[in-house]
Amino acid sequence: ISRAAGVARIAWGGRQLVLHDLGGLLGLPRLRSRGAGPALIVRLGDSRWALRVDQVAAQTDIVVGGLGE
């Protein structure tokens, strides 16, 4: 984890991703300090997001497809 201008970033796949706190995005209280901890990488097309999480209970790969209109 690196920090520049108060923004935490992680290196992943040759990219620097801004590290967002998932609990904060969902309006939940923080359970861990801002130190090192697990992160979840979410991909949608060419976009990637890094989400800081409290813990990882299991790991799985999923594919989500559109249902049409």
Please give the pLDDT value at position 17. 93
Higher pLDDT, 2 or 68: 2
Closest CA to 41 of 56, 29, 30: 56
Mean pLDDT of the chain: 83
Task: Tell me the average pLDDT across 16-42.
Answer: 82
Rounded to whole angstroms, how far apart are CA atoms 69 and 56?
Answer: 34
Q: Please determine, for residue 35, whether its predicted confidence score (pLDDT) is greater than 70.
A: no
Do residues 13 and 24 make contact, with C-beta atoms less than 8 angstroms apart? no
Please give the pLDDT value at position 50. 93
Residue 23 DSSP symbol: H
